[in-house]
Structure 1
Amino acid sequence: MGRHGRAAEGSVLLAGRYRLVEPVGRGGMAEVWCAQDVSLGRLVAVKLLDRVPFAGPHQGTPRDDAAGTTGERIWQEARYAARLVHPNVVQIYDVAADGDRIFLIMELVPGRNLSAVLDRQGPPAPSQVADLGAQAARALAAAHAAGVVHGDVKPANLLLTDDGVLKLTDFGIARRLGPATSGHPARAVLGTAGYLAPELALGHPPSRASDLYALGCVLYELSTGQRPFEADTATALFQRHLHESPTPPRRLQPGISAELEQAILRLLAKEPDIRPADAARVADALEIIARSRSTSVTANEPADAAQGSPAHAPARAGRARHRAKTPTRPSLAPLHRWLGWGTGRPSSS
């Protein structure tokens, strides 16, 4: 095996059970492979670490400040992600070691991450952006309910399956919610600078609010094709997150609805207390936006569409059948209350 675990197809068997098939991605200190579980006869994903010192589960408790070795973090990722069983979270099956290599065995997700989707296709339609955001928010709601802050929400960690299901992955710098993550400065800034909440740039620990800020950055990028802030260095990027307001998304992409724009800007509020407090409510709001956008063509069709010459009767009948099958456009009143339209301030949840 080479430095990054590369080998001829089928020639490496990890822990006597997982046969590496082909690499599917690389990031940080690990490479992800498609592998065959020869015991159960199924394909899995194997996150294979570079050779680094690590503490196994019987070699001491990994530090909760997320500043331990890469090996410690992989055990942490396994523990935290294993708590989550949710359709929008990549399932962790096991963690194991083979000699001096440690690896995670995970659900194999057929598809691409959102970073690759953006590179290949550009920004999705606004209704799809809202739908993807709702799925990501559901994943965060499940993590937060389990007492876990993800800490590194970004397009590369959001996998889109071939049938449109979004799955959150990579809990390598995740943390427990509680006293250890509130009110005490972190030892180091961890995460990806382009998606880092302002308070994290000041050294505060990650929280539900910082996860939601990162989600706002992801939605901004999906909507416009660019991140809210760009800079040549991480330090300069931190300063922009701290002190500058992003360009409103509709100035860059006029097709975005006012509701989607305001939802994104709420998530990008500088002060954590001004952001939504509950990822589940964010998901509810984004689902309303997605449904309202996806049904807007039918809902706005002229009332006299059924009138006209007999020659157009088949087409009119087809449109009538389509309207009968299309869900009624949802009321935007709850969404507008959540955004604070007409009330002067947004809902706190």
Structure 2
Amino acid sequence: MPDRYLGQIISKYQVTRLLGSGAFSWVYEAIDQDLEIPVALKILRPEFSGQDVAEARFRREAATAARLRHRNIVTVRDVGQVDGTVFVAMDLHPLTLGRRLALAGRLPEAECIRIGTDVAAALSIAHAGGVIHRDIKPDNILLSTDGEAVVADFGLARALAGAASLSATNQVMGTPHYFSPEQARGQEIDGRSDLYALGITLYRAATGHLPFEGDDWYAVAKHHIETAPAPPRTFAPELSPEFEAVILRLLAKQPEQRYQSATQLLDALGALPGAPLRSVFTPHLGSHTVDAFPAVRGANGRTALVAAMLLLGAAMTWFTLRDRSASTALGGPTLGDSAPLAATPPADTGPIADSALGARIVSLADSTAARTTRSPARDSLRTAAPTRAPRATAARTARLEIVAADSARLYVDNRLVGTGRFSGDFPVGAKLAVRAVIANASTSCSTAVRDTVVTLKAGDRVGVSLPVRGCAVVSYDVTPRDARVTFTSLDGGPSVELRADSARALSLPEGRYEVRIQAPRCVMGTDTLQVAFRADGAPITRRFLLICS
């Protein structure tokens, strides 16, 4: 059972909470006791320990992710084996896209484009490194505390060239609802299969529906091969035709009809009306960097792969320096500066600072409203150029004010705008996705994220309250083990009741609780508990001993 590791120390990691389980592994939240930070600890299930193929696949996933270093690819911190337990430690991110969609149903177009851009950037690095992910889906896309998408779970990844795969060439692998047609047929695949799966993911995120459903995996796979998807605007008419066209091209049945590389997809997403502005921190990966799917084999293949990666690195450096040079020349941010919206004045900042911030936001919205192909460098300069400030007039803007917990990070259209409180001017008619997140909160903490959508009208002064709360892990030892334990919130929150032998720990939102322990032939025990969020994830421990006859 997965709870066998709860509370245990594996190497230097103290396991605090089960996050999820798969066919081959369990994933936990754990504390790195040396660095005193939370991590995600992935453990190979015991029934596969000692099996050479299973352990090799598990270690290969870690090795693949470790060598594909990019901010949109999960960071592997450690790999090890202790007393027969094989584990991988990775950066912990608070949400998955799957959970985000379970909570929100579907996402605004701008957020979908942002996620698609981040995943495409990760895939461009993986494909240039000769790696196909093979299982792109919402549950394998993590959302970092600053809103970026991070690709995880390279368990099915396979190199395009080099050593023999651990799975047969024609073996059907992946998740059926996100299969590409060539995957469903069990054919040889390349990176365009990942792009198809990303298209399914964006379709689901933008519409709230999967394009293909069925009673079993065979029926779903048959749809991937034979059935044309309903246009996304059938379910979400507010989507732009341009974004719909991108999704439908990703879902083309023939790989030759899709985008031919992840970098080509990046160009297409960057040209959309709702595309995020790229700062000088984000090198532009254009369609001229490198062939994403080189047909390489053997020693010559390794040479070609090294050359491709060197070319990619040179292109990234050139674009970064170009953006830096252009931005510096016109007074924009340099590599040492923060992004335009990263630092926000508090709500009571004087009118000059508020006006300047409002001008930046207005110029951002104006630039995204232009339905033309845009240069990333030009976009970042447009945001920073001081001559744009006079355009933020009272007749064209409305005031948005956000209030949340002091430690909550605040996002407007998936961009970090401040912590705790925010006030700024936005264009009239703007439809804004507003979100508050408790940084470093556990993925199991349902109260750590609150979001809403606000539409602004002329003269509006809209206040939004997002009452987010962090959680803490409560670890308890109850005797007898068949006792029922009830945590009743004294602050109006939900109550939790469970058997002591079903779990040794649980995550509770911040607040005061009455704890009640009952068992047959025992005197009922009661206690009060104050739960306070801790960024380090350290659990609150309690021991209860009932007096029984």
TM-score, normalised via structure 1 length: 0.77
The yes-or-no answer on 1:49 pairing with 2:49 is: no
Partner of 1:90: 74
Q: Check conservation: 1:126, 1:293, Cα contact below 8 A.
A: no
Q: Check conservation: 1:158, 1:167, Cα contact below 8 A.
A: yes
1:63-142 to 2 correspondence within 5 Å? 68-69=53-54, 71-109=55-93, 111-142=94-125
Q: Check conservation: 1:6, 1:23, Cα contact below 8 A.
A: no
TM-superposed deviation, 1:76: 1.1
Tell me how large the CA RMSD over aligned residues is: 2.7
Task: Name which of 24, 30, 33 aligns with 2:25.
Answer: 30
Partner of 1:4: 2
AA of the residue aligned to 2:33: V
TM-superposed deviation, 1:260: 0.6
Structure 2 CA distance, aligned partners of 1:14 and 1:185?
33
The yes-or-no answer on 1:235 pairing with 2:218 is: yes
Structure 1 CA distance, aligned partners of 2:39 and 2:71?
17
| CA 205–103 in structure 1, closer or farther in 2 if over 3 Å, else same | farther
Partner of 2:174: 191
Q: Check conservation: 2:269, 2:275, Cα contact below 8 A.
A: no
Partner of 1:277: 260
Partner of 2:138: 155
Q: Which runs of 4+ in 1 moved over 6 A?
A: 179-182, 317-320
Q: Check conservation: 1:20, 1:36, Cα contact below 8 A.
A: yes
TM-superposed deviation, 1:89: 0.7
Partner of 2:367: 328
Structure 2 CA distance, aligned partners of 1:293 and 1:147?
28
Partner of 1:264: 247
| CA 265–163 in structure 1, closer or farther in 2 if over 3 Å, else same | same
Q: For CA contacts below 8 A with separation 6 or more, give which structure has more relative contact order.
A: 1
* 3-state DSSP of counterpart to 1:222: helix
Structure 1 CA distance, aligned partners of 2:130 and 2:195?
15
Task: Name which of 10, 14, 19 aligns with 1:14.
Answer: 10
Structure 1 CA distance, aligned partners of 2:135 and 2:124?
15
* 3-state DSSP of counterpart to 2:107: coil
State percent identity of aligned pairs: 35
Q: Which runs of 5+ in 2 are unaligned?
A: 278-354, 375-549
1:194-233 to 2 correspondence within 5 Å? 194-233=177-216
| CA 329–7 in structure 1, closer or farther in 2 if over 3 Å, else same | closer
Q: Check conservation: 1:45, 1:107, Cα contact below 8 A.
A: yes
Structure 2 CA distance, aligned partners of 1:13 and 1:320?
50
Structure 2 CA distance, aligned partners of 1:209 and 1:127?
23
| CA 105–290 in structure 1, closer or farther in 2 if over 3 Å, else same | farther
Q: Check conservation: 1:128, 1:290, Cα contact below 8 A.
A: no
1:44-69, CA deviations, whole angstroms, 9 ceiling, x for partnerless residues? 1100121134569xx7xxxxxxxx43
| CA 127–210 in structure 1, closer or farther in 2 if over 3 Å, else same | same
* 3-state DSSP of counterpart to 1:291: coil
Structure 1 CA distance, aligned partners of 2:358 and 2:71?
35
1:159-178 to 2 correspondence within 5 Å? 159-178=142-161
* 3-state DSSP of counterpart to 2:59: helix
Q: Check conservation: 2:113, 2:275, Cα contact below 8 A.
A: no
TM-superposed deviation, 1:201: 1.1
Structure 1 CA distance, aligned partners of 2:173 and 2:139?
16
Q: Check conservation: 1:30, 1:49, Cα contact below 8 A.
A: yes
AA of the residue aligned to 1:49: L
TM-superposed deviation, 1:284: 2.7
Q: Check conservation: 1:148, 1:177, Cα contact below 8 A.
A: yes
* 3-state DSSP of counterpart to 2:81: strand
AA of the residue aligned to 1:82: A
The yes-or-no answer on 1:145 pairing with 2:128 is: yes
AA of the residue aligned to 1:124: L
| CA 129–54 in structure 1, closer or farther in 2 if over 3 Å, else same | same
Range 94-103 or range 222-231, more displaced: 94-103
Structure 1 CA distance, aligned partners of 2:194 and 2:256?
13
TM-superposed deviation, 1:291: 3.4
Q: Which runs of 5+ in 1 are unaligned?
A: 60-67, 295-316, 336-349
* 3-state DSSP of counterpart to 1:36: strand
TM-score, normalised via structure 2 length: 0.50
| CA 124–273 in structure 1, closer or farther in 2 if over 3 Å, else same | same
TM-superposed deviation, 1:25: 2.0
1:118-169, CA deviations, whole angstroms, 9 ceiling, x for partnerless residues? 1111111111111111111111111111111101000000011232111000
1:1-48, CA deviations, whole angstroms, 9 ceiling, x for partnerless residues? xx224455xx31112x11112122222222111111222332211001
Partner of 1:307: none
Partner of 2:269: 286
Range 42-51 or range 230-239, more displaced: 42-51
Q: Check conservation: 1:45, 1:108, Cα contact below 8 A.
A: yes
The structure number with the bigger radius of gyration is 2
Between structures 1 and 2, the one with greater strand share = 2
| CA 180–234 in structure 1, closer or farther in 2 if over 3 Å, else same | farther
| CA 13–292 in structure 1, closer or farther in 2 if over 3 Å, else same | closer
Q: Check conservation: 2:273, 2:368, Cα contact below 8 A.
A: no
AA of the residue aligned to 1:114: L
